[in-house]
Amino acid sequence: MPTINEKDFIQEIIFCIHQSDVIKAKALVQFFAEVNPKTQNRVLYELSKSHDDIAFPVLDYLCEIKSNQNQINQKIYDLLLEISYGNPEMIVRYIKRKHPNQSTYIKIAGDLKMREAIPALSEISKTSQIPKILEEAIKTLGAIGAEECISILIPFLYSDDPVLKVAAISAMSEIGAPPAIEQLSKAITGDNRTDVSIINGLADIQSKLSIEKLCEMLTSQFSNIRSLAIESLIKIGPKAVPGLVENLQSSNEDALIHALTVLGKIGDKTSASAIQKLLFQNPTNSNVRFGAYEALGQIKSAKTAISLANGLNDPDEQVRLAAAKAIDTNLTHVLTAGLKNLIKAGDPDSKKIVAAFIDSEADCVFEELVDWDIFPELASDYLAKKANPAIRDHFLKILTAKGRNEIVQNIKTTASSDNEKKRKQIVAIDDSVMMLKLYTKQLYEMGYTPLIFQFPAKALKEINKQKPDLVLTDLNMPEIDGLQLTRELRKKYSQQELPIIMITTQSDFVGGTEKTTGKPINDEMIKKLGVNRILHKPFTETDLSSAISNTLAPKPGKIKKD
């Protein structure tokens, strides 16, 4: 092909424009991709000055040819967009044509939010067999954002084509109206592939109703839905607090526990009084009390600080630890005076309180009381005789830094060494820091070596490097839940090689996987999941000890649920 004289090319284009000769102009621009970008820009400049009657059909033709320069192609689209503004009838005509550029005009209708295009888009959604056209139509319906688009989109929420399904979810989220939110909520099925998109879509809307729907999902029968809802609400942050506070009035204990978890992670002070009010009602479920104190331990609020001391006398050890850490976070002079009054007797209750402060690593309380009256004696006795070595070393460093060398030496002298005893290693995985502290204490007292992880991904990495004797894992955790963790571990270790105990607050345990029916747990289902034993919260130290010992020495053919 002879080389194109670019100067002549420009002159010919200008002539065609002046003569309104669309046919000849199209014949010329078929060589558009062969001229240099400077010439291409000049052609577009001349077209931008011309009448729409010639500019639009020539630009339409250029859309088919396309430049090898993305910037040029974008300019072509922008010029079409400019001409299309205020000409919805013309765009609708082009959308209805079965034309190579049909998707371009569908996109233009979306960018310009042309409600006039809705009937044409509805027809396309029913008749087109081209996935690309359908996807663009769905996106445009979302961009237009009218409630009348919702009924057109509903069938695609249940499409077998995952691309179209995700596009419909995104479109519904973009519309964001209450009917769209209701349809998104109904479309959740437990299929993790698209449920992630739906929950993210609801989280993006951030309206009162969408947040309410996310709060409702905290009690979903599917573990992956619960985890995704928790993650989304945490990301939304303070805006989600009113909806979560409403959840604190629920009679569903799982709803309370998960709402408290999220409120703690958000850490907004405005939720503290509602959590305190919940504690004043003295919930019978220790998991709820634990969740409340743990949340308050992540929320600094002087107004609620004084009420935290009540948790130190709770009959459940996990609650005492959570209350101790909450006090450490919110310590005031008034609260310190109250603590002194609680432990001055030196009786068994006083010892339990001191133990709770030590096991929860309440450093501020420890430093505040270490020079006061009976506290050094009680703390030294516990550190020397009962504390986990890692906890003991932690506080020995604090004592050394404060110059309490005599106490340090006494603790070291009294502390019994169990180096001669080979302990089985147990990995504990939980996103709750307070639960990990409880496991650290109790597992050591049971004669095991605890190895704790707050993040499942890190635990997986370490377990695959070196196998422990047993794994304790929580069910509801962000990013990777207990079931996903189990599936990953079972790729390398069998149930006999590495026993796994699942800890959950769910009374009806369901897997939340693609094929799960939602039926209550049974031996067959547990075997399929790869879990050796289920242990429901709340549990006592005796319950945990029994579950571990029985799992490490299982009866042939038996998989247990506690």
Q: Give the Å distances, CA to CA, from 96 to 60, 119, 135, 497.
A: 15, 10, 16, 63
- Burial of residue 89 (CB within 10 Å: 0-12, 13-18, 19+) is exposed
Same domain assignment for residues 555 and 430 = yes
Sign (positive or negative) of CA dihedral 349, 351, 356, 362: positive
Of 221, 246, 266, which marks where a domain is finished? 266
Contact 230, 478 (CB under 8 A): yes
Q: What per-residue confidence (pLDDT) applies to 516?
A: 40
Residue 64 within a domain: no
439 and 549 fall within a common domain = yes
* Angle of CA points 418, 423, 425, to nearest 5°: 135
Q: How far is CA 364 from the centre of its chain?
A: 31
Domain co-membership, 549 together with 474: yes
Assess whether 396 and 504 both reside in one domain. Answer: no
Q: According to the model, what pLDDT value does residue 481 have?
A: 85
Q: Residue 550 — pLDDT band, cuts 50, 70, 90?
A: very high
Q: Residue 517: what pLDDT? A: 43
SS3 558: coil
Per residue, what are the HEC states of 171-191? HHHHHCCHHHHHHHHHCCCCC
In the prediction, which pLDDT does 2 show?
56
Tell me: pLDDT of 514 over 70. Answer: no
Read off the pLDDT of each residue in 293-302 and give the average, rounded to a whole number.
91
Q: Write out the two tokens for 24.
A: 């000849």
Tell whether 457 and 501 lie within a shared domain.
yes
Does 557 lie in the same domain as 442?
yes
Instruction: Establish if 450 belongs to a structural domain.
Output: yes
Q: Is pLDDT above 80 for 176? A: yes
Distance in angstroms (rounded) separating the CA atoms of residues 439 and 426: 10
pLDDT at 420: 45
Q: Is residue 49 part of a domain?
A: no
pLDDT, position 33 = 85
Tokens 């420009």 sit on residue: 10
Contact between 358 and 382 (Cβ < 8 Å) = yes
Burial of residue 378, with CB atoms counted within 10 A of its CB: 0-12 exposed, 13-18 middle, 19 or more buried: buried
Spatial distance between the Cα atoms of 173 and 202, rounded to a whole number of angstroms = 6
Element (H, E) at 528: helix 523-529
CB-based burial, 238-262: b 16+ in 10 Å, e otherwise = eebbbbbbebbeeeebbbbbbbbbb
Residue 200 tokens, joined: 């993210």
**Domain-located, residue 262:** yes
Whether residue 497 lies inside any domain: the answer is yes
d(C-alpha 141, C-alpha 143), whole Å: 5
Are 323 and 310 within 8 A, CB to CB?
A: yes
Same domain, 242 and 220: yes
- Residue 512 — pLDDT band, cuts 50, 70, 90? very low
Alpha helix locations (H) across 30-149? Answer: 37-49, 52-65, 70-84, 88-96, 102-111, 118-127, 131-144
pLDDT of residue 15 exceeding 70: yes
DSSP code at position 534: E
Residues 367-379, mean pLDDT to the nearest whole number: 92
pLDDT of 476:
81
Q: Structurally, how many domains does the chain consist of?
A: 4
Bigger pLDDT: 77 or 554? 77
In this predicted structure, the answer to whether residue 528 has a pLDDT above a threshold of 80 is no
Q: Taking all residues of the chain, what is their mean pLDDT, rounded to a whole number?
A: 89
- Cis-peptide, bond into residue 538, ω within 30° of zero: yes
276, 260: one domain = no
Summarize pLDDT for 409-447 with one digit per residue, the tens.
989 888 865 554 678 999 999 999 999 999 999 999 999
Instruction: Give Cα 442 to chain centroid, integer Å.
Output: 30
Indicate the pTM of the whole model: 0.79
Q: In a 3-state reduction of DSSP, which class is residue 450?
A: strand
Mean pLDDT for 364-389 is: 92
**170, 141 in Cβ contact below 8 A?**
no
The full DSSP string for 213-224 is HHHHGGG-SSHH
pLDDT digits (tens, 9 = 90+) for 96-146: 987 788 999 999 999 999 999 999 999 999 999 999 999 999 999 999 999
Residue 258 is part of which domain span?
211-266
- Domain boundary at 382, 416, 450, which? 416
- 326 lies in the same domain as 341: no
| Res 507: pLDDT | 54
Contact call for residues 441 and 467 (beta carbons, < 8 A)? no
pLDDT band at 477 (very low <50, low <70, confident <90, very high): confident
Burial class (CB in 10 A: 0-12, 13-18, 19+), 351: middle
Query: Residue 115: its pLDDT value, please?
Result: 96
- Please tell me whether residues 271 and 384 are part of one structural domain: no
Report the CATH number at residue 220: 1.25.10.10
Q: Do both 298 and 254 map to the same domain?
A: no
The letter for the amino acid at 122 is S
Q: Which residue has the tokens 């790869």?
A: 530
**How many whole angstroms separate alpha carbon 16 and alpha carbon 30?**
14
Q: 330, 354, 374: which is the final residue of a domain?
A: 330
DSSP code at position 519: P
Task: Mark whether 300 and 394 lie in a shared domain.
Answer: no
The DSSP call for residue 86 is T
